[in-house]
């Protein structure tokens, strides 16, 4: 028997007002792997993430973590018991809590009960000296680091990231992408990262899931999509990368 994937999505379908925005999407992600859902705005990427997180519900299809059913049309584990973490585009830090309490937010007992884990993560994102700062005292890049530490603190089996770098200054992005990737690899979590930027997917992904109008039109290693695009449209999408 083969080992179950860390995350497996099977035949996911979701419609809004009779428009199928997610149209029979299937994929699997292994532990330690970063998969990028890549496609233009409106193709259904965030909808897939919301369904996997459990804040939206599919019309059909199923989601499995480590081979265990998390959600289908008859059965549903609530979001907080899925061991799935989520990192949002706007970071969504709690403004009234210092950095250390933000990072500890998902841990039972909070900072007092998890000093070592919080210290380890703050050190890892190079934010130890900002432990007692509040979010408004930090730059965008620093807030991103704290949001990443917070998402990883409870050791989620799967981490979902929706356009996590899009709010950041262009000049900072490459460095933050590299730092983020190295932390994700050290933690060994499976990552599903949404982006509309081919460069970001090429840089971060082990596996690219190329989407168009609700469907995955091609999936594979970045090198394969770049060298053997499925059609002219896919070729054009990757053409301005060098």
Contact residues toward Mg ion (CB under 5 A) are 46
- Rg of the chain (C-alpha set): 18
Residue 58 sits in the site that holds ligand ADP (CB under 6 A)? no
Please give the Cα distance from 145 to 139 (Å, whole number): 10
For the segment 5-34, give every residue that binds ligand ADP (CB under 6 A).
16, 21
Closest distance of CB 45 from ligand ADP, Å: 3
From Mg ion, ligand ADP, none, interface partner of 44 (C-beta below 5 to 8 A by class): ligand ADP
From ligand ADP, Mg ion, none, interface partner of 21 (C-beta below 5 to 8 A by class): ligand ADP
Please give the Cα distance from 121 to 144 (Å, whole number): 13
Residue 41 sits in the site that holds ligand ADP (CB under 6 A)? yes
Local structure of 140: helix, strand or coil: helix
Closest distance of CB 38 from Mg ion, Å: 12
Residue 64 sits in the site that holds ligand ADP (CB under 6 A)? no
Stretch that binds ligand ADP, among 39-47, 65-73, 152-160, 234-242 (CB under 6 A): 39-47
Please give the Cα distance from 187 to 210 (Å, whole number): 25
From ligand ADP, Mg ion, none, interface partner of 42 (C-beta below 5 to 8 A by class): ligand ADP
Please give the Cα distance from 194 to 161 (Å, whole number): 6
Is the CB of residue 198 less than 8 Å from the CB of residue 125? no
Please give the Cα distance from 143 to 78 (Å, whole number): 28
Residue 45 sits in the site that holds ligand ADP (CB under 6 A)? yes
Closest distance of CB 105 from Mg ion, Å: 24
E-state strands within 1-119? 7-16, 19-29, 34-38, 60-65, 68-71, 84-87
From Mg ion, ligand ADP, none, interface partner of 223 (C-beta below 5 to 8 A by class): none
What's 49-70 look like in SS3? HHHHHCCCCCCEEEEEECCEEE
In terms of CB distance, is 48 or 127 closer to ligand ADP?
A: 48
**Residue ranges in contact with ligand ADP by CB under 6 A:** 16, 21, 39, 41-47
């Amino acid at each position: 028997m083969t080992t179950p994937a860390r995350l497996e999505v099977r035949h996911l379908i979701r419609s809004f007002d009779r428009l199928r925005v997610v149209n029979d999407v299937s994929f699997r992600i292994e532990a330690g792997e970063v998969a990028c859902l890549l496609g233009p705005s409106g193709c259904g990427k965030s909808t897939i993430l919301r369904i996997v997180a459990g804040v939206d519900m599919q019309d059909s299809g199923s989601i499995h973590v480590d081979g265990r059913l998390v959600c289908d049309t008859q059965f549903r584990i609530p979001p907080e018991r899925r061991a799935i973490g989520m990192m949002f585009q706007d970071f969504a830090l709690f403004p009234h809590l210092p950095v250390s309490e933000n990072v500890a937010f998902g841990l039972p007992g909070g900072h007092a009960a998890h000093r070592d884990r919080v210290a380890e993560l703050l050190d890892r994102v190079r934010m130890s000296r900002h432990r007692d700062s509040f979010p408004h005292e930090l730059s965008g890049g620093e807030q991103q680091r704290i949001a990443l530490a917070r998402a990883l603190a409870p050791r989620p089996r799967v981490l979902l990231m929706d356009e996590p770098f899009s709010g950041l200054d262009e000049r900072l992005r490459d460095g933050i992408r590299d730092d983020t990737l190295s932390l994700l690899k050290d933690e060994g979590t499976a990552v599903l990262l949404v982006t509309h930027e081919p460069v970001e997917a090429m840089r971060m992904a082990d596996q690219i899931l190329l989407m168009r109008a609700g469907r995955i039109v091609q999936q594979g290693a970045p090198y394969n999509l770049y060298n053997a695009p499925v059609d002219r449209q896919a070729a054009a999408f990757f053409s301005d990368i060098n």
